[in-house]
């Protein structure tokens, strides 16, 4: 298997390109996130939080590549495939991002339960997200926390995956036939 056709490679390259194409994020990282809860944690607690973030982000990006791979392998059963598959892929990426933004606070809160003894056991999942909120995350507008900036970067990477899969992997696969 060629490494460029690897789903993990596509996941890594998409987050790398999304980061390179996000100078607004660079500025925020240099300026810092004053008051962000990440900076109240001890070194090992931060390392655990970073590990959790890497694992969750990696799984989400891997699921994104699996989604694209599945869709492009269905190509013979979908009408108007040159238009419909990329659109379905974009909607799938949006759905994955929506579910991640909706559920991930619970995963992070569960981690905080492990490191802080006085937190109550509760559900912290939001009831509903609006399209405007997701759009603001993707544009990295009005994002004051490291978490929100990370979600925006992850969303950008998911949408970049759709383009990379369509125009790099799928085109190369079709040309190899």
Per-residue model confidence (pLDDT) at position 79: 72
Per-residue model confidence (pLDDT) at position 171: 57
- Confidence grade of residue 14 (pLDDT, cut at 50, 70, 90): very high
If you average pLDDT over each of 17-21, 79-83, 133-137, which comes out highest?
17-21
CA nearest to 155, candidates 50, 27, 28, 15: 15
Q: What average pLDDT does range 119-124 have in this prediction?
A: 90
Query: Is pLDDT at 141 greater than 80 in this prediction?
Result: no
Distances (CA, A) of 89 to 12, 127, 141: 18, 25, 25
Query: Is pLDDT at 165 greater than 50 in this prediction?
Result: yes
Query: Is pLDDT at 9 greater than 90 in this prediction?
Result: no
Per-residue model confidence (pLDDT) at position 143: 66
Q: What average pLDDT does range 104-130 have in this prediction?
A: 89
- Confidence grade of residue 176 (pLDDT, cut at 50, 70, 90): very low
Query: Is pLDDT at 154 greater than 80 in this prediction?
Result: yes
Mean pLDDT of the chain: 86
Select the more confidently predicted residue: 7 or 87: 87
CA nearest to 148, candidates 12, 13, 23, 25: 25
| Structural domain boundaries, residue 98 | 3-176
Give the number of domains in the chain: 1
Query: Is pLDDT at 99 greater than 60 in this prediction?
Result: yes
Select the more confidently predicted residue: 172 or 142: 142
Query: Is pLDDT at 149 greater than 80 in this prediction?
Result: yes
26-63, pLDDT tens digit by residue? 888 888 788 888 888 999 999 999 999 999 999 999 99
Distance between CA atoms of residues 70 and 56, nearest Å: 21
Nearby residues of 85 by Cβ (< 8 Å), 6 or more positions away: 71, 72, 74, 75, 78, 166
């Amino acid at each position: 298997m060629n490494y460029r056709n690897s789903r993990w490679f596509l996941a890594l390259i998409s987050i790398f390109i999304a980061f390179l194409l996000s100078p607004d994020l660079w500025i925020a990282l240099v300026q810092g996130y004053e008051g962000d809860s990440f900076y109240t944690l001890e070194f090992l607690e931060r390392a655990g939080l970073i590990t959790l973030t890497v694992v969750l982000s990696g799984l989400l990006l891997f699921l994104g590549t699996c989604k694209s791979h599945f869709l492009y392998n269905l190509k013979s059963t979908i009408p108007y495939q040159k238009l419909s598959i990329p659109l379905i892929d974009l909607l799938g990426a949006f759905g994955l991002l929506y579910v991640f933004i909706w559920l991930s606070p619970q995963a992070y809160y569960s981690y905080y339960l492990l490191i802080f003894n006085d937190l109550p056991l509760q559900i912290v999942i939001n009831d509903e997200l609006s399209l405007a909120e997701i759009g603001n995350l993707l544009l990295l507008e009005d994002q004051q926390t490291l978490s929100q900036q990370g979600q925006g970067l992850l969303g950008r990477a998911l949408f970049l995956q759709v383009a990379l899969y369509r125009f790099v992997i799928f085109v190369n696969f079709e040309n190899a036939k």
